Each structure stands twice: as C-alpha cells, then as structure tokens.
C-alpha cells in the first residue's frame, strides 16, 4: 500500500477536549487549523456534534456541541484541510445536522460499540443522504468477541459508510493485534477505506499506526503532541514527519507545539503516565486511572495496581 | 522465535547515568537491584567500567568507573539477576579487569563504532579469556554504510563474542529498519545471539524492541521508566509486562518507579521531548538538543528546528 493514499485526521480538539473539558479559546482552534493546514494535514476534527439537549454538560466548551454557525466564525476561510465532527450514539439529534452544502463539515464520524452497530448504520445512512463523507469508529474492539466483530463488519459492509475505523480505546493492542484486525477488517470490508485511532498507554500509538499503514489502513488519527484522553494519541508531529508525501511539513506542527501546547501541557495532563500504562496492560478503560490522577494521591501507583489486579470479592 | 529465550538487560544506572552524571546513591542502586531481581529481570547493567586514568571526569558518580570491591559493597548478596558493565574503546584499561571468578560482573559489553570493530574484537578476546560473557554493541548503525556493516559483521562472526547488539543510538529507526537489520545480523552471524538497544526519540523504543523479538533478537535492553540519555530507552515496565514468561512480574517495577523514579524525574529530565524528536527524525546525535535543554531557552523548538535543517553555509 502506497503511503500516497493515506490521510491524516488530527483529532486534537475532539479527543484533547476530553482532557480539558473542551476549554479551548476560539483563537487557539483557529491557530491550530491554520497550522494543520500549513502542515498538509488532511482533516481536522473540530469537536463533537452531540446535542446539548441529550447530554447534560453545561460546563463544557462549545467544541462538544458544535453549531454550524459557530464553526463559520471560527474558520472564516476554509482551506485545504477538511473538517470533521464526531457523534455518539444516542447523544446526537439528527435534526441538528444541516445538509452538507450548508455546513463547513465534510466528514461525520459515528463512534459506536459493537452492540450499537445497527444504530450506527442508521445514522450513517442519514448523514450519507445529507451529502457527508461518513465513518463508523468501532470502539473497544479489544473487549469484543470475534464472532460479534465479524457480524458487525458484515452489516457495515452493506451500508454506504466510506471509512471503518479500528479504535484501540484502551491502548492495549500491539502491532500483531493491529495487523490481525486490519486483515480481518479488509477481508470483511473489501471496498471500504480503513482507519485507525490509537491510544498511547503502552507507547505504541505511533508504532501501531505505522503497522496500520502497512496493512491498507488509510485514515490515520493523530493529535498534536499526542493530546488526548488519558495517555493520549498518536502524535501528529511524528506522523507528519514520517510520511514521505511532499505535501506534509512538520515545521508548522513544531511551531504550534512551542506556542500553544507546551503552555497548555503545564496546566492539564495527558501522556504516558504509569496508571494509564497499568490500565493499558490490563485492557481496561482508563477511567479508574483518570480518577486516581484527579485525586489527592495521584502517584499511589502500587496501591492502584493492587486494586486493579485484586481477585478478592468486590463488595461494592 | 519463542519469547522463552529472551533476556531483559536493564541499563538504567549506566544509560540513565548519562542524564544525572551517575549521581545515584548506593541505596538507590541496591534498591533497584532488589526490585529488578524480584521482577525477574535477567541482567542489570550497573555502570561503565572505564578507567578514570583515561577519561577525565572527576565530578561523575562511581557508576562511571566501576571498581570490583565497590560493587561488592553495593550488592552484598548476589541473586538471580546477573550484572553487566559497559566499556568504551580507548577508555578502558584492560589491567583493571579481574578474572571473572574474582568479580561480581558476569557480562562485559563493548560499545564501539563500526570503524573501531577491530579494537572491539581485541577487547572481547581478552574479556572472553578472563571468563566473562561478552557483547559487542555496534553504535550508530543508522549512520553507517551497508558494506561497512557487512565487513564488520564478518569479522565479528569470527570472534568469540557471545552477543552482538543493534544499537539505535539516535532513536531514528522504525520497525522496518529493525527488521532489516536483524535479518542482516542473523545472516552474517548465524551462531551469535543478537541484542537490541533502542532510544525513544520517535516513541518507537518499545515497539522496535518487540520487532526485534519477532526477528530472533534475544537480548533486550531497557531502563526503568525509560530513564536514559535524552529521549531515554525502552521502558523496563512495558517489556516486563508484555513478555509472557512466568518469571517476569511488573509489580516490583511499578513499585520502584513510584518510590524512586517519580521523585528523580522531578529533578532531572529525560523522555519524549520535542528537540529529541527533532534529532531523531533527522538521524542526528542528540547532543545539540541536550545543549538546548540545558540552555536558558529550552523550549525554543522552532529556532532549533530551523538551525538543524538549515542548508546555509556553516560559518563556524
């Protein structure tokens, strides 16, 4: 598979918003868009397009409930970098979605667990009918049974979706796992584009993305300086510098890291931190580790490890 | 290649010493030895066995110029974890090396560039004659021409050395590079054990080590919490938790990180930091980035990138 066909999708604002409750200034997001465009990044995911009616979260920044008019204020001049938004099953109001020609958004991605794939496909059909590019991002594949994945992929293959994502939600997969999943996805989805979204709990986010490229995955998620929930994602700067396509230039990403992300990282935390490593090696959601890091004893690693690996009866 | 045959060599004190000028307390090193032994780690590299007569560095801690009597004070009770020491060409006085039965050291590793391989082999023969296990660690393979590597490997193959290491000195190699080098080393060295020593400039240290395992590499270097020069090494905790051998247990590594390495990391710096990423992607020695991080403007990433990539005449 030639690297020429791959696309980088930077999800800093969306996945990084899980770190700072989407508390990004408009000027920050605008600056990031300009920087990613200069770097040749293909897509920028500017947030979630969930409905504030369906998800109570008054304190969250506007990037959690994107409004099309607001996006036009943020990005007054659209450039080569396309825009995407993520929606969650049960949290998006489809009446909020304008026809594509009335929106700056190009791609709508549907995040869903295996059990919700039918609902995900229904949403995809609607967004596809409105003219959008679409993806289904299957979360937590590491916690799904093989036959469930197979059945879901068969249904997805009969839908109009453009891209199907392998999502390593817990950062628990290694290169062999990615290879096996990419081969499975390819065999069940011969005509679809494949995507990969990784987490860095075991310092494998970038490496696993490269394994994906070697196995016909073409949509590559990343975030600047790895900013994303818990251990974060595949760093955009590594992907941009590694891909040989002449359109990519790492300098604008280094520049925006220096100006915006080093100061931000001093205020909020993400990256390779031992409790996230522990949930990664245990194939667990990082929420317990995130709770530890927000507690008064964020460095009590051993007590956390003992709790997570205890086989004693749970008395909760 | 079965994972059963691999050995982990923790080089925290030796490579990490490059971060803090080998300023480790005896109690720290003793504690680390106990922890690594409990974790099932096969070797601990306790420092350099260079000669203070041949390398002026009065401020360095004792782990840079290991003395056999001193090692006995540090490790009063040797356990299953073996000890190793590294020597540099031209900096070791072979008269300092006792016969193995009089030393706690099991393995002496010789670090050398391709151009010094003949000197390296001479040292290996002496240490082998004294009864030690030996390795040759070929540094900076990413900056060596193919035919030079081939000729060096032919000579090494005719020596008594036990292990030959692929060393990614600049953290600039990816999984495909490691695969190609491991296959080359295997073809030129059919009877030798192979080793790998990685740096984390591109967050590939652990992933590249796993690629090595898949290609008959059995000696795996690592350091606790990745502590090593500049971007650091493959983290011991990831390797110990990933390998399926029942002898390995990650809990003692997590414990020692919490007690010793989190406080230490607050005082001295290593890991994935943008200037080290930049030297990694450019396949350069990290010394320029280390100088930047020691300067008054450690976060001037763009100026550093511009300088490192400038094609203007060098007026120095």
- What CATH number did the domain enclosing A170 receive? 3.20.20.70
Measuring CA to CA, how many Å separate A237 from each of A2, A275, B113?
Answer: 20, 25, 30
> Which one, of B48, B56, B52, B61, lies nearest residue B21 by Cα?
B61
> Do you know the residue count of chain A?
316
Is residue B314 in some structural domain?
Answer: no
Is residue A220 in some structural domain?
Answer: yes
Kindly state the average pLDDT of the residues B220-240: 98
Q: What is the DSSP letter of B49?
A: B
Kindly state the average pLDDT of the residues B140-147: 89
Mean pLDDT check: name the lowest of A105-114, A238-247, B140-149, B212-221. B140-149
Beta strands of A127-241 (E only): which ranges?
A: 133-138, 163-167, 193-197, 217-222
Model confidence over B242-267: pLDDT tens digits? 998 999 999 999 999 999 999 999 99
Do B211 and A258 lie within an 8 Å CB cutoff?
Answer: no
Kindly state the average pLDDT of the residues B287-313: 93
Residues B16 and B100 in one domain: yes
Is residue B171 in some structural domain?
Answer: yes
Mutate to test the interface with A, among B225, B239, B274 (most CBs of A within 10 A): B274
Residues A281 and A133 in one domain: no
Is residue A316 in some structural domain?
Answer: no
Do A250 and B281 lie within an 8 Å CB cutoff?
Answer: yes
| pLDDT-above-70 percentage for chain B | 97
Do B203 and A203 lie within an 8 Å CB cutoff?
Answer: yes
Specify the pLDDT at position B311.
77
Do A302 and B254 lie within an 8 Å CB cutoff?
Answer: yes
Residues B174 and B288 in one domain: no
Is residue A315 in some structural domain?
Answer: no
Residues A286 and A174 in one domain: no
Does residue A315 surpass a pLDDT of 60? no
Do A242 and B281 lie within an 8 Å CB cutoff?
Answer: yes
> Which one, of B12, B20, B152, lies nearest residue B86 by Cα?
B12
Residues B61 and B108 in one domain: yes
Model confidence over B39-74: pLDDT tens digits? 999 999 999 999 988 887 778 899 999 999 999 999
- Give strand pairing partners of B196: B166, B220
Do A277 and B237 lie within an 8 Å CB cutoff?
Answer: yes
Model confidence over A50-66: pLDDT tens digits? 998 888 777 889 999 99
> Which one, of B18, B205, B196, lies nearest residue B109 by Cα?
B196
Do B205 and A203 lie within an 8 Å CB cutoff?
Answer: yes
Measuring CA to CA, how many Å separate B85 from each of B37, B42, B75, B192, B204?
Answer: 17, 14, 14, 20, 25
Q: What is the CA radius of gyration of chain B?
A: 19
Confidence class of residue A316 from pLDDT cuts 50, 70 and 90?
very low
Mutate to test the interface with B, among A301, A303, A305, A309 (most CBs of B within 10 A): A301
Number of cross-chain residue pairs from A and B with Cβ atoms under 8 Å apart: 96
Residues A187 and A299 in one domain: no
Q: Which of B174, B225, B255 sits opposite A302 (nearest CB)?
A: B255
Residues B292 and B261 in one domain: no
Residues B56 and B29 in one domain: yes
Cβ atoms of A142 and A172 within 8 Å: the answer is: yes
CA separation for the pair A294, A290 (Å, rounded): 6
Residues B289 and B172 in one domain: no
- Domain containing B295: what range? 274-309
- CB count within 10 Å of CB A295 equals 10
Residue of A nearest to B214 (CA): A176
Overall number of domains in chain A: 2
Query: How many angstroms separate the CA of residue A267 from the nearest CA in chain B?
Result: 16
Specify the pLDDT at position B312.
65
Specify the pLDDT at position B314.
52
Specify the pLDDT at position A312.
65
CA separation for the pair B226, B232 (Å, rounded): 5
Model confidence over A218-273: pLDDT tens digits? 999 999 999 999 999 999 999 999 998 999 999 999 999 999 999 999 999 999 99
Does residue A3 surpass a pLDDT of 70? no
Residues B76 and B204 in one domain: yes
Model confidence over A164-173: pLDDT tens digits? 999 999 999 9
Whole-number average pLDDT of chain B: 95
Is residue A68 in some structural domain?
Answer: yes
Residues B176 and B257 in one domain: yes
Residues B47 and B168 in one domain: yes
CA separation for the pair B182, B143 (Å, rounded): 16
> Which residues of chain A neighbour B207 with C-beta distances below 8 Å?
174-175, 203-204, 206-208
> Do you know the residue count of chain B?
316
Helix, strand, or coil (residue B73): helix
Q: Which of A237, A257, A274 sits opposite B257 (nearest CB)?
A: A274
Is residue A287 in some structural domain?
Answer: yes
Is residue A131 in some structural domain?
Answer: yes
């Amino acid at each position: 598979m030639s690297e020429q066909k791959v696309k980088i999708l930077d999800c800093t604002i969306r996945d990084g918003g899980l770190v700072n409750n989407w508390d990004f200034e408009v000027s920050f997001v605008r600056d990031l868009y300009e920087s990613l465009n200069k770097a040749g990044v293909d897509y920028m995911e500017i947030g979630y397009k969930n409905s504030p009616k369906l998800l109570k979260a008054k304190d969250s920044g506007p990037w959690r409930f994107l409004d099309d008019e607001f996006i036009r204020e943020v990005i007054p001049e659209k450039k080569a970098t396309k825009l995407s938004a993520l929606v969650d099953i049960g949290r998006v109001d489809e009446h909020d979605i304008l026809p594509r020609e009335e929106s700056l958004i190009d791609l709508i991605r549907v995040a869903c667990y295996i059990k919700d794939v039918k609902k995900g496909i229904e949403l995809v059909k609607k967004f596809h009918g409105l003219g959008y590019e679409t993806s289904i991002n299957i979360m937590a594949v590491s916690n799904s049974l093989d036959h469930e994945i197979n059945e879901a992929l068969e249904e997805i293959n009969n839908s109009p979706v453009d891209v199907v994502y392998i999502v390593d939600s817990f950062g628990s997969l290694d290169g062999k796992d990615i290879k096996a999943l990419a081969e499975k996805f390819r065999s069940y989805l011969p005509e679809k584009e494949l995507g990969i979204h990784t987490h860095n709990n075991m310092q494998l986010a970038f490496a696993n993305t490269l394994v994906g490229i070697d196995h016909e995955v073409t949509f590559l998620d990343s975030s600047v300086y790895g900013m994303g929930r818990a251990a974060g994602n595949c760093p955009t700067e590594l992907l941009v510098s590694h891909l040989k396509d002449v359109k990519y230039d790492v300098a604008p990403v280094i520049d925006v890291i220096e100006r915006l992300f080093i100061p931000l990282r001093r205020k909020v935390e993400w990256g390779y931190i031992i409790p996230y490593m522990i949930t990664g090696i245990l194939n667990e959601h990082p929420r317990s580790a995130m709770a530890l890091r927000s507690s008064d004893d964020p460095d009590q690693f051993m007590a956390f490890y003992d709790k997570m690996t205890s086989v004693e009866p749970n008395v909760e």
